[in-house]
């Protein structure tokens, strides 16, 4: 029960089940100082854990030096970070040869990509194909790209020019990509909010080939998957594909709001001064947090850590009762349950001191800090195992109705529309 007076907040989020007041590494504390293992990281944001000292010091130092300067003037921090990101997109050692626009969120990074595609393709060719189930943001254009009709419905009409096809379906993409109309394809390398859906290994390769043949941009939304989370710096790097545009946000500032849209130089050149901008995008305070985050990420080798820790978490989850499969890469994982008890299970996990969420009624998602320890992984698996054993006993095998015979609160709790639904809710942004 929250003790905070929320009466002056818009009701765009469901009532939170707990209010956190501080965090340290992979542990969050509520107002009674009760610790919770954070296996969600603010939805893949605090990849270095909470209150990382290097990031905290960088923010404090920059705040005392120069907290903001307009993009009318130069600032050295943003330029340095852009070079680092270009190198990480190139795999870590050599620069990819692209350029970056800084924004403040994932939606804004994608908004930049969508505008850039229109500018690059020229008048009349402004279509974008994305996939059903995808999540690209909440602004009107990124909502139009988001492949979820229930999120779009209350806000119709949305901007024109957005088509959707099933994910991981190259034939459908092939049919949708009319080069006289379509400027870009926008895809997540793994669909996060859809429940950590991993496509076939030839999907991105096929998309690259299709886009190259038809002179259509391949734009990869790495807002959730980027910056080490999947065991590589970026999700597309698992498949050796070179996209034209890459967007990122979440983990970029380890909690300091920041987003970025990278494009290869020839595409980036479509923007001329005055085409796009942001008061805060790329400003020194945010950029110093990003610079420190990237320093620590490189020093700690977080992609490799995510790969190793992800294998441990996956192995632990696979053994739990009621788990039929585990999908994902690195430390972006989902446990697919035998039945629709993910929402109440996530709520019980929270009560048991473990923060996770349920992006789908039968899916639990895990996105811990990339610096999470083995002991913390084992503890999280232990907490969840005790909870899932009870749910699996009540719900029975896949497809059967909940037994609900022991008075246990196992009846499916609906995921509130448009709300975070506490720890159990579905929505990412």
- Of 137 and 328, which CB lies nearer to ligand PLP in the complex structure? 137
From the CA atom positions of the chain, what is the Rg in Å?
A: 21
Size of the site for ligand PLP (CB under 6 A): 17
Catalytic residue, candidates 39, 102, 126, 135: 135
Draw the binding track, 105-144, toward ligand PLP (x: CB under 6 A; -: no contact).
Answer: xxx--x------------------------xxx-------
Catalytic residue, candidates 250, 271, 366, 428: 250
Q: How many residues in total does the chain contain?
A: 429
Task: Give the helix ranges, DSSP H, for 148-264.
Answer: 149-152, 170-176, 203-214
If one asks whether residue 329 binds ligand PLP (CB under 6 A), the answer comes out as no
Q: Interacting stretch for ligand PLP, rule CB under 6 A, among 19-27, 219-227, 315-323, 365-373?
A: 219-227
SS3 298: helix
Q: Interacting stretch for ligand PLP, rule CB under 6 A, among 26-34, 101-109, 270-278, 405-413?
A: 101-109
Query: What is the spatial distance between Cα 305 and Cα 298, in angstroms, rounded to a whole number?
Result: 11
If one asks whether residue 249 binds ligand PLP (CB under 6 A), the answer comes out as yes
Where in 30-49 is the site for ligand PLP (CB under 6 A)?
43
Q: Interacting stretch for ligand PLP, rule CB under 6 A, among 155-163, 178-186, 221-229, 355-363?
A: 221-229
* Residue given tokens 């985050």 in the structure block: 293
Query: What is the spatial distance between Cα 4 and Cα 341, in angstroms, rounded to a whole number?
Result: 29
Angle at CA 59, nearest 5°, toward 56 and 62?
145
Q: What is the DSSP string of 137-156?
A: -SSHHHHHHS--HHHHGGGP
Please count the other Cβ atoms lying within 10 Å of the Cβ belonging to residue 331: 33
If one asks whether residue 428 binds ligand PLP (CB under 6 A), the answer comes out as yes
Q: Site for ligand PLP (CB under 6 A): which residue of 224, 254, 293, 376?
A: 224
Residue 221 annotated to the active site: yes
Half-sphere exposure of 252 (CA within 13 A, CB side): 29
Residue 319 annotated to the active site: no
Closest separation in Å from C-beta 225 to ligand PLP: 7
Query: What is the spatial distance between Cα 385 and Cα 246, in angstroms, rounded to a whole number?
Result: 37
Residue 135 annotated to the active site: yes
Residues with a known catalytic role? 135, 221, 250
* Residues within the interface to ligand PLP (CB under 6 A): 43, 105-107, 110, 135-137, 188, 192-193, 221, 223-224, 249, 428-429
């Amino acid at each position: 029960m929250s003790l905070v007076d929320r009466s002056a907040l818009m009701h765009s989020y469901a009532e939170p089940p707990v209010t956190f007041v501080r965090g340290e590494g992979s542990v969050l504390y509520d107002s009674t100082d009760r610790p919770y293992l954070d296996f969600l990281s603010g939805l893949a944001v605090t990849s270095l854990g909470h209150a990382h000292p290097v990031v905290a010091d960088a923010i404090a130092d920059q705040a005392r030096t120069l907290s903001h300067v307009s993009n009318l003037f130069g600032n050295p921090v943003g330029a340095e970070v852009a070079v680092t990101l270009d190198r990480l997109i190139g795999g870590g050692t050599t620069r990819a040869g692209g350029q970056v626009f800084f924004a403040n969120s994932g939606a804004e990074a994608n908004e930049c990509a969508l505008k850039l595609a229109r500018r690059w393709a020229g008048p009349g060719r402004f279509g974008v194909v994305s996939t059903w189930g995808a999540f690209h943001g909440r602004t009107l254009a990124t909502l139009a790209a988001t492949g979820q009709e229930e999120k779009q419905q209350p806000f119709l009409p949305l901007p024109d020019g957005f088509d959707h096809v099933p994910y991981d379906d190259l034939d459908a993409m092939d049919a949708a990509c009319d080069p006289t109309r379509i400027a870009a394809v926008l895809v997540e390398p793994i669909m996060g909010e859809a429940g950590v859906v991993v496509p076939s290994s030839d999907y991105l390769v096929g998309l690259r080939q299709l886009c190259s043949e038809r002179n259509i941009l391949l734009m990869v939304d790495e807002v959730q998957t980027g910056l080490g989370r999947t065991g590589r710096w970026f999700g597309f790097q698992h498949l050796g594909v070179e996209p034209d545009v890459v967007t990122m946000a979440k983990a970029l500032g380890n909690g300091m709001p920041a987003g970025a849209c990278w494009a290869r130089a020839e595409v980036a050149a479509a923007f001329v001064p005055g085409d796009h901008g942001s008061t805060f995008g790329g400003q020194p305070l945010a950029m110093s947090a990003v610079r420190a985050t990237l320093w620590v990420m490189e020093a700690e080798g977080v992609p490799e850590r995510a790969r190793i820790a992800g294998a441990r978490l996956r192995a632990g989850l696979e053994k739990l009762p009621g788990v039929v499969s585990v999908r994902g890469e690195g430390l972006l994982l989902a446990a697919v349950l035998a039945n629709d008890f993910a929402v109440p299970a996530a709520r019980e996990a929270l009560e048991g001191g473990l923060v996770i969420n349920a992006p789908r009624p039968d899916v639990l998602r895990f996105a811990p800090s990339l610096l999470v320890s083995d002991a913390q992984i084992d503890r999280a698996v232990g907490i969840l195992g005790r909870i899932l054993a009870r749910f699996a006993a009540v719900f029975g095998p896949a497809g059967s109705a909940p037994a609900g015979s022991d008075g246990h609160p196992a009846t499916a709790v609906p995921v509130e529309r448009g709300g975070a639904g506490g720890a159990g809710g579905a929505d990412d942004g």
